[in-house]
Amino acid sequence: MEGLLQSFEEAALPHLGAAYNLARWLTRDETDAEDVVQEAYLRAFKHFGSFHGGDFRPWLLAIVRNTCYTWMQHNRSPELMIPFDEEAHEIESEDLNPEALLLQRADTVMIRQALEELPAEFREVIVLREFEGLSYKQIADVTEIPVGTVMSRLARARKRLQERLASHRDKTVTQAVSLRRAMGS
């Protein structure tokens, strides 16, 4: 049993960050993501004997994904939107001046909001591809859909993300113009 546990830890622990990242984006909540990852790791350990080699990461992320969706079905409405806590995930750079930091923070917030607005099926393929660096084949394995569907979803997700970012940008410009007019500039 100890040898199995050690083998599992060696295979699974390097992917803890990726598992948490996927769970956080799917659940949209840090605490829920922690719970889901814990449950997923327990499931993965329970079924570790059925893993027959190959790339462990997609196998584990498939378990995390499935655990997320099962957890969300039992614990919340699929349409419930929980805001992402931007301040908790903020990366500060000492190299930028305050104005540049403000602009960078605004861009980060806009991107996160746009991602949050995507349906889960699009959000998951974006996270797996762009944040976790999985190949199309690995994403297909994780999500249990054909590679062609992965490519199609990624294309549609990117298009929707681009549209949402343009919409956010347009709203921001309109607000800035209104503010300038109100200030008499």
Q: What is the DSSP string of 59-92?
A: HHHHHHHHHHHHHHHHHS-TT------TGGG---
- What pLDDT shows up at residue 52? 80
- Whether the CB-CB separation of 51 and 59 falls below 8 Å is answered with yes
Tell whether 128 is covered by a domain: yes
**pTM (predicted TM-score):** 0.67
Q: Determine the angle formed by the axes of helices 30-46 and 2-12, rounding to 10 degrees.
A: 130
Tell whether 84 is covered by a domain: no
- The CATH number that applies at residue 166 is 1.10.10.10
| Band of residue 152 on the pLDDT scale cut at 50, 70, 90 | very high
Tell whether 157 is covered by a domain: yes
Are 67 and 132 part of one and the same domain? no
Longest CA–CA separation in the chain, Å:
74
**For the chain, counts of helices (H) and of strands (E):** 8, 0
Query: What is the distance between the alpha carbons of residues 170 and 176, in angstroms, rounded to a whole number?
Result: 10
Domain, as residue range, for 66: 1-76
- What pLDDT shows up at residue 82? 46
Are 67 and 127 part of one and the same domain? no
SS3 string, 146-170, reads CHHHHHHHHHHHHHHHHHHHHHHHH
Condensed to tens digits (0 to 9), the pLDDT of residues 31-71 reads: 999 999 999 999 999 999 888 878 899 999 999 999 999 99
Tell whether 40 is covered by a domain: yes
Mean pLDDT value across residues 2-11: 86
Closest among 107, 75, 73 to 90, alpha carbons compared = 107
Are 159 and 119 part of one and the same domain? yes
- What pLDDT shows up at residue 83? 45
Closest among 131, 128, 108 to 120, alpha carbons compared = 128
Mean pLDDT value across residues 110-125: 87
Are 60 and 117 part of one and the same domain? no
Overall domain count for the chain: 2
Are 104 and 67 part of one and the same domain? no
- The CATH number that applies at residue 1 is 1.10.1740.10
Tell whether 83 is covered by a domain: no
Are 185 and 97 part of one and the same domain? yes
Query: What is the distance between the alpha carbons of residues 127 and 68, in angstroms, rounded to a whole number?
Result: 14
Tell whether 88 is covered by a domain: no
